[in-house]
């Protein structure tokens, strides 16, 4: 018999299946998108955007200072007064539908840029980020002329100029989460993408320009923290929507104290992912993997604290470790890559700081063999067990592919441990027993609770946090209310 039976087993290394980058057109330099057009590149105030998987330079990007921030806000105010507040809600909807379709048409290009600039696997940008971004525009396009139906007998009004600051973990998707509801509700926008991932937002600016949106309705300025601070401080800004770290969220809150600016914050998280002994364990393993290793763990709602019922702890850890070894860490452009590059150098240092801490605390650290030896920023999937509730690894957001495991015996213990955190963005529960699911989920202090799945998103479903994970909701009808005075 043609039997290649041997105890070591057959090694089937997948040949590279790299997504082509030949069709991608990036400029060498970028200005800001203000009043319907790009400003010229500001060489003196600029930075380089790199590919985190290779450290290759992708483009030079301008930094907006006070002058540019003022110009952008003035443009947004002008766009609001002159055009966007004047045209009919139905027309607003049409523009949003147009942007949605154009995102779909350019999906492949946007996916590759997202992966080049941010390090996330092409599988995710292709199957998750870009389709969902288009979906958000489609969803809110439909709402534009139906705002009066949100709450009975109320006439909702737009706010004016919205300043929106987004993080680097889902660059285009977060831009869509912010821009689509703001425009549907009749506001105009100044958006600032994160420094390390400006390119897809600048591509979106091209789409918005090509969609013939009236000038000033969407403005996109690039830069770092100082730019964001100046933007939030501007007197003509009526609404601030920020997604990012809890620390900066608190700063913004202090900064705008005493003003009439409306604020929504979507901040950090440290989600408990609870596995009961009556769960479908094999599927729960997939849920755990999807919960923490999706997007290199750069997910604010990542299921980063695994809580497993004592009597299935060994089984779960053993199966999880086996599954982790089949995760392919490597070139984000390869279609078979499961875990791409960490988004930036400082984030990698932060993750490594926590890994060193785990070693110092004498915890059991299981890390798969990271086979990637390129010049980029990579971190292999990591599982830390034997960790207690008072460890910094359990209390603080690591924002990387690092999962801590704790056990619990009773349901009460699981709920107590799950809620014992300053955060409250999300949580997950696995049990085949429906009554248990309801009993537990109703007691978890988290904005989003998934049952028997994890990291599922839909534009119609509101998303947001409790406690230090922020306030205000994005998505669904709730996401409209954040941009209206009702």
Residues 274, 271: Cα–Cα separation, whole Å: 9
Q: Which is nearer to another protein, 122 or 252 (CB)?
A: 122
Site for another protein in 13-52 (CB under 8 A): 13-17
Query: What are the backbone angles phi and psi of residue 462, rounded to the nearest 5°?
Result: -65, 150
Q: Which is nearer to another protein, 92 or 123 (CB)?
A: 123
Site size toward another protein, by CB under 8 A: 35
Query: Considering beta carbons, is residue 16 or 422 the nearer one to another protein?
Result: 16
Beta carbon of residue 127, minimum distance to another protein (angstroms, whole number): 8
Enumerate residues 333-352 that contact another protein by CB under 8 A.
335-336
Tokens of 445: 């202090």
Among 32, 74, 98, 123, interactor with another protein by CB under 8 A? 123
Catalytic residue among 232, 300, 301, 379: 300
* Nearer of residues 194 and 312 to another protein, judged by Cβ: 312
Question: In this complex, which beta carbon is closest to another protein, that of residue 151 or of residue 280?
Answer: 280
Strand arrangement of the beta sheet that strand 262-266 belongs to: 37-38, 33-34, 218-220, 188-192, 161-165, 239-243, 262-266, 470-471
DSSP 8-state code for residue 304: -
| Annotated catalytic residue within 266, 397, 468, 474 | 266
Q: What span, in angstroms and rounded, lies between the C-alpha atoms of 264 and 482?
A: 7
Q: Which two tokens stand for residue 476?
A: 């669904």
Is residue 362 part of the contact set for another protein (CB under 8 A)? Answer: no
Q: DSSP 3-state assignment of 99?
A: helix
Of 185 and 441, the one with the shorter C-beta distance to another protein is 441
Closest CA to 394 of 403, 440, 16: 403
Is the CB of 123 or the CB of 192 nearer to another protein?
123
Q: Report the site for another protein in 445-484 (rule: CB under 8 A).
A: 452-453
Shortest gap between Cβ of 290 and another protein (angstroms)?
A: 8
- The pair of structure tokens assigned to 167 is 């993080």
3-state SS of the chain: helix, strand, coil percent to 5?
A: 40, 20, 40
Question: To the nearest 10°, the Cα dihedral for 201, 202, 204, 207?
Answer: 180
The least distance separating another protein from the CB of residue 202, rounded to whole angstroms, comes to: 29
Among 210, 212, 310, 318, binds another protein (CB under 8 A): 318
Shortest Cβ 285–another protein spacing (Å):
9
d(CA 38, CA 33): 4
Question: Exactly one of 105, 247, 286, 364 binds another protein (CB under 8 A); which one?
Answer: 286
Among 55, 56, 105, 280, binds another protein (CB under 8 A): 280
Q: Is 254 exposed, middle or buried (0-12, 13-18, 19+ CB in 10 A)?
A: exposed
Q: How far is CA 176 from CA 131, 181, 238, 276, 454, in A?
A: 11, 8, 19, 36, 21
For another protein, what does the binding mask look like between residues 48 and 87, x meaning CB under 8 A? ----------------------------------------
Q: Does 311 bind another protein (CB under 8 A)?
A: no
Active site (annotated) includes residue 266: yes
Candidates 37, 56, 105, 127; binder of another protein (CB under 8 A) is 127
DSSP class of residue 474? B
Min dist. Cβ of residue 134 to another protein (A): 20
Work out which of 283, 311, 349, 388 binds another protein, going by CB under 8 A: 283
CA nearest to 111, candidates 33, 28, 199, 179: 199
Does residue 361 have an active-site annotation?
A: no
| Residue (314 or 364) nearer to another protein, CB | 314
Least Å from the CB of residue 291 to another protein: 12
Number of C-beta neighbours around residue 6 at 10 A? 7
Using CB under 8 A as the binding rule, the residues of this chain from 381 to 440 that contact another protein are: 432
User: Of 89-97, 184-192, 275-283, 407-415, which segment contacts another protein by CB under 8 A?
Assistant: 275-283
The tokens for 464 are 């947001």
| Pair of tokens at residue 252 | 């913004």
Whether the Cβ atoms of residue 404 and residue 386 lie closer than 8 Å to each other: no
SS3 275: strand
Catalytic (active-site) positions? 266, 300
Chain contacts with another protein (rule: CB under 8 A): 1-5, 7-17, 123, 127, 278-284, 286-287, 318-319, 326, 335-336, 432, 452-453
């Amino acid at each position: 018999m043609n039997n290649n039976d041997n105890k070591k087993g057959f090694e089937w290394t997948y040949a590279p299946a790299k997504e082509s980058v030949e069709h991608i057109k990036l400029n060498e330099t970028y200005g800001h998108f203000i009043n319907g057009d790009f400003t010229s590149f500001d060489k003196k105030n600029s930075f380089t955007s790199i590919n985190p998987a290779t450290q290759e330079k992708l483009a030079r990007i301008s930094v907006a200072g006070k002058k540019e921030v003022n110009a952008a806000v003035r443009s947004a105010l002008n766009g609001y007064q002159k055009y966007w507040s004047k045209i009919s809600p139905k027309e607003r909807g049409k523009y949003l539908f147009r942007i949605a379709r154009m995102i779909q048409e350019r999906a492949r290009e946007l996916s590759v840029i997202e992966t080049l600039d941010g390090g996330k696997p092409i599988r995710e940008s292709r199957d998750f980020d870009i389709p969902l971004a288009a979906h958000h525009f489609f969803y809110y396009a439909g709402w534009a002329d139906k705002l009066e139906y949100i709450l009975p007998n109320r006439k909702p009004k737009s706010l004016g100029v919205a300043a929106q600051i987004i993080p680097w973990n889902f660059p285009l998707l977060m831009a869509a989460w912010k821009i689509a509801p703001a425009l549907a509700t009749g506001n105009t926008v100044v958006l600032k993408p994160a420094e390390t991932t400006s390119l897809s937002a600048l591509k979106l600016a091209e789409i918005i320009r090509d969609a013939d949106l009236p000038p000033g309705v969407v403005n996109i300025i690039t830069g770092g923290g100082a730019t964001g601070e100046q933007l939030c401080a501007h007197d003509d800004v009526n609404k601030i929507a920020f997604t990012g770290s809890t620390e900066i969220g608190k700063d913004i809150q202090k900064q705008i104290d005493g003003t009439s600016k409306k604020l929504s914050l979507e901040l950090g998280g440290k989600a408990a992912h609870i596995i009961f002994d009556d769960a479908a364990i094999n599927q729960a393993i997939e849920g755990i993997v999807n919960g923490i290793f999706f997007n290199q763990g750069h997910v604010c709602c990542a299921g980063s604290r695994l809580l497993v019922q004592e009597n299935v702890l060994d089984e779960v850890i053993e199966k999880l470790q086996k599954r982790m070894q089949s995760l392919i860490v490597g070139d984000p452009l390869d279609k078979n890559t499961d875990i791409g590059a960490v988004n930036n150098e400082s984030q990698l240092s932060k993750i490594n700081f926590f890994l060193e801490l785990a070693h110092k605390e004498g915890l059991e650290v299981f890390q798969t063999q990271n086979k990637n030896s390129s010049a980029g920023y990579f971190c292999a999937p990591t599982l830390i067990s034997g960790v207690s509730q008072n460890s910094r690894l359990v209390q603080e957001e690591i924002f990387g592919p690092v999962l801590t495991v704790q056990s619990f015996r009773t349901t009460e213990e699981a709920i107590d441990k799950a809620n014992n955190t300053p955060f409250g963005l999300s949580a997950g529960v696995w049990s085949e027993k429906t009554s248990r699911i309801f009993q537990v989920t109703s007691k978890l202090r988290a904005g989003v609770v998934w049952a028997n799945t994890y990291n599922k998103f839909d534009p119609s479903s509101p998303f947001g946090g409790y406690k230090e994970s922020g306030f205000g909701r994005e998505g669904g009808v709730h996401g409209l209310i954040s941009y209206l005075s009702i």
